[in-house]
Amino acid sequence: MILIDAISEPEKALASAAAKLEVGGLVALPTETVYGLAADATNGEAVARIFAAKGRPQFNPLICHVSDLEMAKRCGEFSPMAEKLAEKFWPGPLTIVVPLKANCSIHPLVSAGLETIALRCPRGIVGQIADKLQRPIAAPSANTSGTISPTAAQHVVDDLGAKVDLIIDGAACSVGLESTIVKPLNNTLLLLRSGSITAEELAEFSGRPVERPQSDAAIEAPGMMVSHYAPKTPMRLNAQRVEQDEALLAFGPGPIENAGAARLQLNLSPNGDLIEAASNLYDYMKQLDKEGACTIAVQPIPQTGLGEAINDRLSRAAAPKDEDHE
């Protein structure tokens, strides 16, 4: 792990961070809220490495950081209200959830397969790096899952250390609290996470009421991506054999009985690499879902490392569909 001080060496920090991200590396970066664990949002394996480094047991959707509104508009569909909010509060600690733009280059692991994307243009070096790369940057807080978010480079060194390729020290974060997350709806704003830009401020500026999600509300909470993301074809997990008319989601080098019966088979990682498997998961589920198979049979995935998140995702996709959340 390398540490670069962005205050004394801003050019070096910018160039090194961009170079590392370009080749799929993980870089801890300062923002005005908390330090982020960044990867190129268009590179599935790099994004999968974020989850592995954080030890996240689930693929929660990640915030995508952009250089400006123009880049944001290449990733998401901005309603007039979403645009108004971006113009007012960017760069700054506001994340705006908008519909994902069709055919945009963001890897589906970033939005956990949701049809929406959380976008934010932070102050400081992250926007400059996104501009240099001309690509959005996915970054959750740079801490082990379940622990407190880092507000100084030293926190990241102590917590993630060698799991990160590069840490950019930009001094302490001025806000110190994760960004406010807002989702503009037809006539209201949905406040998904409170932060330093307050509900009152948003209501006053937008002239619209600000609502909080119901505790059992669908979609908004990461856990609810489930029903949203389940394929139409039923899934059969831990399959030891392929049955007639099934599609096969394979994993690893091991053969499976009756593989020839599969309408289509895709292997998440022929070498059994969980990072590669995670980056292929959503895309392969989508492809297999189009086959018109009776079932998608899934070979067992080990429950170690990223396997826990992959299995979490698979078991949600295989769960009976909840009609309220369709």
Query: Which residues are near ligand TXA by CB under 6 A?
Result: 31, 33-34, 36, 60-63, 95, 97, 111, 114, 116-118, 120, 122, 139-141, 178-179, 181, 192-193, 220, 222
Interacting stretch for Mg ion, rule CB under 5 A, among 4-12, 130-138, 140-148, 165-173? 140-148
Q: Which is nearer to ligand TXA, 220 or 246 (CB)?
A: 220
Region of 58 on the Ramachandran plot (φ > 0 left; ψ -120 to 50 alpha; else beta)? beta
Distance between CA atoms of residues 33 and 93, nearest Å:
7
How far from the centroid of its chain's Cα atoms is residue 76's Cα?
14
Interacting stretch for Mg ion, rule CB under 5 A, among 8-16, 137-145, 293-301, 313-321? 137-145
Among residues 33, 43, 95, 141, which is the contact residue for Mg ion, using CB under 5 A?
141
Q: Which is nearer to Mg ion, 105 or 147 (CB)?
A: 147
Interacting stretch for Mg ion, rule CB under 5 A, among 40-48, 118-126, 134-142, 166-174? 134-142
Nearest distance, CB of residue 40 and ligand TXA, angstroms: 15
Nearest distance, CB of residue 150 and Mg ion, angstroms: 10
Q: Which is nearer to ligand TXA, 120 or 247 (CB)?
A: 120
Do 83 and 98 form a contact (C-beta atoms < 8 A)? no
- Tokens 């619209």 belong to 208
Cα separation values, 194 from 36, 60, 315, Å: 18, 18, 30
Within the chain, residue ranges assigned H as helices are 10-22, 44-54, 69-75, 80-89, 125-133, 153-159, 199-206, 225-229, 274-289, 307-318
Calculate ∠ Cα 77-118-282, nearest 5°: 90
Question: How do 189-193 and 180-184 pair as beta strands?
Answer: antiparallel
- From the list ligand TXA, Mg ion, none, pick the one residue 61 interacts with, judged by a Cβ distance below 5 to 8 Å according to partner type: ligand TXA
Do 139 and 36 form a contact (C-beta atoms < 8 A)? yes
Nearest distance, CB of residue 179 and ligand TXA, angstroms: 3
- Tokens 């801490």 belong to 143
Nearest residue to 78 (alpha-carbon basis) of 98, 63, 92:
98
- From the list ligand TXA, Mg ion, none, pick the one residue 133 interacts with, judged by a Cβ distance below 5 to 8 Å according to partner type: none
Interacting stretch for Mg ion, rule CB under 5 A, among 10-18, 61-69, 139-147, 250-258? 139-147
Helix (H) or strand (E) holding 98: strand 94-99
Nearest distance, CB of residue 140 and ligand TXA, angstroms: 3
Nearest distance, CB of residue 106 and ligand TXA, angstroms: 11
By beta carbon distance, the residue nearest Mg ion is: 141
Looking only at Cα atoms, what is the longest distance across the chain? 64
Q: Which is nearer to ligand TXA, 77 or 243 (CB)?
A: 77
